[in-house]
Amino acid sequence: MGVPTVPLITARFKELVTTISYKKGIPNMRITYTPHPITDRPRDLCDKYVQGADPNTGQPLLEEIYGGLTRPLSTEDAAPGFLKRDPRTRLLPSDTPENLLAYFHQQGFTDGNAIILPTERKVEEMLKGTSRQPDEWVGQMRPSPPHEAWYYTVEMVAVNAVMVGAKPEYFPVILAIASKGLTSMFSSTSSFARMVVVNGPVVKEIGMNTSIGALGPNNQANSCIGRCWTLISKNLGGSGKPGETYLGSQGNQLNYNNLCCPETEDGLPAGWEPLHVQKGFKKTESVVSLFSGWSFNDIAWYSPLPQHEVIRGWLEHFFSFGTTQATLVLDPLVAADVAAKGYPTKEAFAKYLAENTGTPGWLYWSQNTEALKQAQAGVEPYAGWLKQGPGAVVPVSRYLRRAGPRGGGFIASLTGKDDPTTIEVVVTGGGTNTFWSGGDFGYAGSASVDQWR
Amino acid sequence: MKNRMVLPMLGLLLLLAALSPSPVIAQENSSAHPAALNTRVRSMIELGSVYTNIYDIAITVVETVRGPAAMDRLKAAYPDTKTPPPGFEYALARVKFEFKGRYVSDTIPFDLGSDPLQWVALSSELTEYPRVSVQAPKPALAGRIKPGDSLEGWVAFAVSAKDSKPVMVFDPDTGGATGRGRTLFFKLYQ
C-alpha cells in the first residue's frame, strides 16, 4: 500500500514466487534471493549469505535490497501481467506402445512404476463407472497453497485411473478423492505423506481388503485407489516435480500408495462409530477421508501393560515433524482390548490419550521458547519442569486442540466440528496379532463417494 | 508387426490437458476475457489451515453504474460521500456471490468485503487503480456467509473517467480462504 518492499526469499523458491508475482499481476516485482536452505543452518553461514550475493543475479544482496527499496519504479517494473497458459491438445499423436510408455515416464507422468496406457477406449470404459459427464469439473489442485491451481475434469481423472489399472467400479472413489483438491505430493521441503481411508458400502462393493494385510500390497482396489491419488497429484495438480514443484529433501515412500485402506467396520467394538460417521456422514454413505502427516510406525511389541497404556506411552514419546497430531490405526483385536478397558467410543479413547500424555522435556523446551524464558526466570511451574532435565516429561499435552474451528497452528487439523483432540482412531486389519500402527497424521477432510457414482 | 497393428488404435489422451481450461471451468475467465454483465462465473476457493477443502463459488455482476449516476446513488446512501479524485469517477458493481460446500463436513464460513484486496478495479490496461475510501451503497457486498448461502450487494471503486473498459478482479486469497485459486475478472461496463 505504497510502502517500498523487497521480499527476501531463498533461491529454491524462485519458481514459486515468480508464479505468485504473476498471479498478483506484478510479474516484475523486485525480489532478492539468498542461497537455500537457511532453516536450521549455522548462524555464521546465514551471515555469509547476507554479506554475499543474490545467487540469481550475482549482485551483492544488501545492495540489491537497498536498490530495490529506493530506486524509482520504471515502466517495466510497473507493467502488469497475468499467467496465461496455452491450450494443449487432448490427444497425443499415435506411436508404438513402447515409445509412448517411454514418453510417459520421461515426462514424469508416472510414479516410476509400470502403467496402463490411457487409450480413448480404456478411458471411455473408465467413464462408465460414473454418471458424471466427462467434461464436468471435479476440482482444483496445487503443490502447496501459494502455487497456481490446476483445474481438472472427470475425463482427466479417468485418464489417471486407467493408468494405475483401476476398474471402473473404483472410479467414484477416485473421483471423490480428486474432488477434495488435496495434493498427495505437497511441495514442502519436509516430505509430507498422505493417507486415505475408505468407509461405507463401497468397500465391499469393490472388494477392498479390510482384513489381513489391509495396509499392504495385497488388493487391487486398495493399491490402485491409493496410487491413483499420487498420479492425479502429479498430472492434474502440478505436483511432484523434484526441484520445482516438489521439494521434499528425502521424499516419502508413503507417497506411492498413500496408506490407502478401508476401515474394518465389521471389526469395530460396540459403540465405536466408523470414521465417516464420526465426521458427520450417514453410516449408509460411502466416504473417503483424507489425512496428512509425515511418518507412520508399525508397533510390533508385546507388553504386559494393557494396550491403551502402551499406546499412551508411545504417543507421549513419539516424535516426528508433526508433533501435535496423531492418527492411530488399530487392529480390530487391539480396538476390542482398548474398548474393554472402559473406552466406549473412539472419542473417549482419544480424550484419554490427549489428557494423559505429556511432552518430552527436550521437545517441549525446543518448541516453547516463551515458556523456556519464564522457566529460566524462575517462573513456576516452568522452572520446576526445567529443573527435571530434558529427559523428563513435561505435563503438557500435545494433542489437545487449543484453537477454534480453523485450528491454531501449522499442522492443526480440521474436523468441521468441535473436536477437543487432534487424535484420530481408525480400525483395520485381520486380527492375526495385537499390533497396531500410528503416525503424525491429521484429518484433512472427507468426501462422499456416492456423489460421484 | 503386432505393434504396427496396434498403432492406429492408440489415440492417447494427453494428461497435461489440465492446463487448458475446461469448457465448464470459469467460462474461460481470464484477464483477456473478463466476464460480461450477468454472466455467472463458477470457480472454487479453498478454506482451511494447510489442509484446505474446496468450496464452490459462483459470481455474477448483475449491474454496473458509473459516473454521475454512481455518485447520485452514493450520495443518496451517504450524503457525506466525497467527490472522487480529479480525473476519476465512481464505478459501482452489484455482485451476486454464491457459496457452497461440497460435503456435510464442509462448514467453514467465508468473509465477504473484509479484505480490501478481495475486489479490486483495474484499468483496461490491467493496471490497478488506487483504492479510495468510499462506502458502497446498501446492501454492500459484505458479511460472513455460510456454505449454502448467497449474498448480493454493491462494491464501489474509483476509476479513470476516460477509461471506458475498467475491469474488476476477485482475489480468491481473501475472506479466510487460505488457498490461492483462480483470480477472476469481470467487466465493469456494459
What distance lies between CA A273 and its chain's CA centroid? Answer: 24
Q: Which residues of A fall within a CB distance of 8 Å from B110? A: none
Nearest chain A residue to B185 by CA: give it. Answer: A82
Average pLDDT, chain B: 84
Choose the weakest-confidence range: A201-210, A384-393, B6-15, B140-149.
B6-15
CB contact under 8 A, A80 and B125: yes
**Share above pLDDT 70 across residues of chain A, in percent, rounded to a whole number:** 94
Average pLDDT, chain A: 90
* B27 is a domain residue: no
Q: Which residues of A fall within a CB distance of 8 Å from B170? A: none
Q: Which residues of A fall within a CB distance of 8 Å from B46? A: 140, 145, 181
Chain A closest CA to B183's CA: distance in Å?
7
* Residue that wins the pLDDT comparison between A229 and B174: A229
Chain A closest CA to B94's CA: distance in Å?
24
- Helices A61-70 and A43-51: crossing angle, nearest 10°? 60
What confidence category does residue A402 fall into, taking pLDDT thresholds of 50, 70 and 90?
low
Q: Which residues of A fall within a CB distance of 8 Å from B53? A: 180-182, 414, 444-445
Model confidence over B1-60: pLDDT tens digits? 333 333 334 455 555 444 333 333 454 788 889 999 999 999 888 887 657 788 999 999
> Which structural domain, as residue segments, surrounds residue B53?
33-187
Q: Which sign does the torsion angle of CA B76, B78, B79, B84 carry? A: negative
Nearest chain A residue to B106 by CA: give it. Answer: A416
Of A267, A357, A341, the C-alpha closest to A305 is A341
* Alpha carbon distance A78, A47 (integer Å): 32
* B133 is a domain residue: yes
CATH of the domain at B110: 2.60.40.1240
| Model pLDDT, residue A405 | 38
Q: Letter for the amino acid at A57?
A: T
Cβ within 8 Å of A, B 61-120: 102-108
Q: Which residues of A fall within a CB distance of 8 Å from B1? A: none
How many beta carbons lie within 10 A of that of residue A133, not counting itself?
12
CB contact under 8 A, B50 and A410: yes
Chain B closest CA to A297's CA: distance in Å?
22
Choose the weakest-confidence range: A24-38, A340-354, B97-111.
A24-38
The residue-averaged pLDDT of A132-142 equals: 92
* Alpha carbon distance A387, B114 (integer Å): 47
Coil vs helix vs strand at A308: helix
* B70 is a domain residue: yes
Phi-psi region of A76 (alpha: psi -120 to 50; beta: other; left: phi over 0): alpha
* B2 is a domain residue: no
The residue-averaged pLDDT of B166-170 equals: 95
Q: Which residues of A fall within a CB distance of 8 Å from B55? A: none
What confidence category does residue A72 fall into, taking pLDDT thresholds of 50, 70 and 90?
confident
* Residue that wins the pLDDT comparison between A413 and A304: A304
| Model pLDDT, residue B12 | 58
> Radius of gyration (Cα) for chain A, nearest Å?
25
What confidence category does residue A103 fall into, taking pLDDT thresholds of 50, 70 and 90?
very high
What confidence category does residue A205 fall into, taking pLDDT thresholds of 50, 70 and 90?
very high
Q: Which residues of A fall within a CB distance of 8 Å from B8? A: 94
What confidence category does residue A418 fall into, taking pLDDT thresholds of 50, 70 and 90?
low
This complex has an ipTM of 0.76
Whether the predicted pLDDT of A245 surpasses 70:
yes
Phi-psi region of A44 (alpha: psi -120 to 50; beta: other; left: phi over 0): alpha
Chain A contact probe: residue of B9, B50, B127, B178 with most A CBs at under 10 A: B50
* Alpha carbon distance B56, B46 (integer Å): 9
* B23 is a domain residue: no
| Model pLDDT, residue B40 | 94
Exposed (0-12), middle (13-18) or buried (19+): which is A48, by Cβ within 10 Å? exposed
Report how many helices (DSSP H) and strands (DSSP E) chain A contains, helices first: 17, 15
Q: Which of B104, B128, B176 sits opposite A25 (nearest CB)?
A: B128
Model confidence over A169-188: pLDDT tens digits? 999 999 999 999 999 999 88
What distance lies between CA B91 and its chain's CA centroid? Answer: 15
| Model pLDDT, residue B181 | 64
* Alpha carbon distance A132, A153 (integer Å): 10
**Predicted TM-score (pTM) of this structure:** 0.85
Q: SS3 breakdown of chain A: % helix, strand, coil, rounded to 5?
A: 35, 15, 50
Q: Which residues of B fall within a CB distance of 8 Å from A412? A: 49-50
Q: Domain total for chain B?
A: 1
Q: Which residues of B fall within a CB distance of 8 Å from A240? A: none
Coil vs helix vs strand at A225: helix
Model confidence over B112-127: pLDDT tens digits? 988 888 999 999 988 8
* B111 is a domain residue: yes
Whether the predicted pLDDT of A451 surpasses 70:
yes
Chain A closest CA to B72's CA: distance in Å?
29
Q: Which of A81, A137, A280 sits opposite B24 (nearest CB)?
A: A137
Nearest chain B residue to A293 by CA: give it. Answer: B51
The residue-averaged pLDDT of A375-389 equals: 95
Q: Which of A137, A145, A409 sits opposite B179 (nearest CB)?
A: A145
Of B131, B168, B138, the C-alpha closest to A1 is B131
Chain B closest CA to A240's CA: distance in Å?
14
Cβ–Cβ < 8 Å for B68, B62:
no
Whether the predicted pLDDT of B152 surpasses 80:
yes
Whether the predicted pLDDT of A406 surpasses 60:
no
| Model pLDDT, residue A202 | 98
Choose the weakest-confidence range: A196-210, A333-347, B126-140.
B126-140
CB contact under 8 A, B54 and A180: yes
| Model pLDDT, residue B3 | 37
CB contact under 8 A, A23 and B180: yes
* B1 is a domain residue: no
**Share above pLDDT 90 across residues of chain A, in percent, rounded to a whole number:** 72
Whether the predicted pLDDT of A84 surpasses 70:
no
Range list of β-strands (E), A26-144: 32-34, 91-92, 137-141
| Model pLDDT, residue B179 | 58
| Model pLDDT, residue A28 | 84
* Residue that wins the pLDDT comparison between B48 and A90: A90
The residue-averaged pLDDT of A193-215 equals: 97
Whether the predicted pLDDT of B171 surpasses 90:
no
Neighbouring-strand partners of residue B41: B59
Q: Which of B106, B122, B180 sits opposite A145 (nearest CB)?
A: B180
* B79 is a domain residue: yes
For chain A, first and last CA: distance in Å? 48
Cβ–Cβ < 8 Å for A135, A154:
yes
Residue B133 contacts A where some CB pair is shorter than 8 Å: no
The residue-averaged pLDDT of A81-104 equals: 84
